Amino acid sequence: MSFLPTPLGGRPDALLARAGGLTRLVAGLCWLLAVVLTTQPLVPAVVCLAGLAALLGWSGLDARLVAGRFGPVFVAAVGLAVVAAVFSPLNGDPAATAAVELGPLRITVPALSGAMALGLRLVAIALTSVLVFGPGEVTGLADSLVQQARVPDRFAYGSVAALGLVPLLAADWESTRVARRLRGLEAAHLPGRLGGLGGRLLTLLVSAIRRADRMALAMDARGFDSGRRRSRYRPVRFGVPDVLVLAGAVGVAAFALAAATWVRV
């Protein structure tokens, strides 16, 4: 299963990996804010370009791996844009200039612009989340959230532990399918398969609770959340990489918004 939040295995010395997780989160929020604030396609376009540059230049991630794993999102974005363009109510506006006219199909410029904005926005959001959560490792993100944003240890490291269980649950999920199949319960048609999901989910839930119980027991036995103040094996400091990432992200967002104000598409 390739959509699971398994590590993308980036280089630890990349700029984005050396910046704290909280820094990446704030930088990412800047971009998301810029993208949702306007309906102009230019803003997500600028963010997409900057995001692509950051992915290739400063993330330390293997761009081909990212492309392979998030390819479906990009395909969906294109599909969404096409559908939005073809079925936009703005196409019925006789005053608007037609961008495409093919027999009965008429797509107006405002409809095309809106559809492009929609598709680009989806890509920009996906790209931003890859840049926020992809570089470095999940522990670094938890360390940063706990030490810089005062997120409770219990929540942050509990989530880290839970993420480690996800591949096991994925294997369990596969096993439940095999079990139903061998009992002759796997329907050939889609509605039947959806009906079987309830039983599989129940089994998965039982297994998830059992595993989480065992994990919680093991964590308690090692003194986690015992009321004592935890010390830090990896202190997180706000440094030059954080300044660079924040400045870069804010700069890109500001530039995109400014360009959208002056250049009407």
Partner 1 sequence: MIEAPPPILAEGLRWTYRGATRPALDGLHFRLDGGQVLLVLGPSGSGKSTLARALAGIVPHALPGAWTGRLSIGADDVPATPPARLGQRVGLVFQDPESQLVMPRVEDEVAFGLENRGWPRPEMLRRVPQALALAGLSGFEQRASRGLSGGEQQRLALAGVLAPLPRLLVFDEPTANLDPPGMQAFFARLGELATRREHTIVVVEHRLEAVLPLADRALLLDEAGRQLAYGPPAEIGPVHAGALERSGGWVPAAWRRPGALPTGGFAARGPSQPVTPSPVPAVDIVAELEGVAVRYGADRDLRTALVGVDLVLRAGERVGLVGPNGSGKSSLLFVLAGARRPSSGAVVVRDASGAPHDPRRLPSTVLPGMVGLAFQDPEIGFVGRTVGEELGPGAGPALVARFGLDGLEGRDPYRLSQGQQRRLSLAALAARNPRLLLLDEPTYGLDRLGSQQVVAFLDEGRVAGQAQLLATHDPRLLPDCDRVVALEAGRVVFEGSSAAFLAAPPFDPPGPWQVSP
72 binds partner 1 (CB under 8 A): no
Angle at which helix 138-148 crosses helix 153-182, to 10 degrees, equals 150
CA angle 106, 111, 114 (to 5 degrees): 155
Comparison of 91 and 207: residue with beta carbon closer to partner 1: 207
Partners of 105 in beta bridges: 102
Q: How buried is residue 18: exposed, middle or buried, by Cβ count under 10 Å (0-12/13-18/19+)?
A: buried
- Per-position DSSP letters for 26-58, written without gaps between them: HHHHHHHHHHHH---THHHHHHHHHHHHHHHHT
- 21 versus 114: smaller Cβ distance to partner 1: 21
99 near partner 1 (CB under 8 A):
no
212: exposed, middle or buried (Cβ count in 10 Å: 0-12, 13-18, 19+): middle
The 202-241 contact track toward partner 1, x by CB under 8 A, reads: xx--xx--xx--xx-xxxxxxxxxxxxxxxxxxx------
Residues 30-69 close enough to bind partner 1 by CB under 8 A: 62, 64-65, 68-69
**Closer residue to partner 1 in complex, CB, 6/38:** 6
Binding mask 169-198 for partner 1 (x = CB under 8 A): ---x-xxxxxxxxxxxxxxx----------
The footprint of partner 1 (CB under 8 A) covers: 2, 7, 62, 64-65, 68-69, 137-139, 157, 160-161, 163-165, 167-168, 172, 174-188, 199, 202-203, 206-207, 210-211, 214-215, 217-235
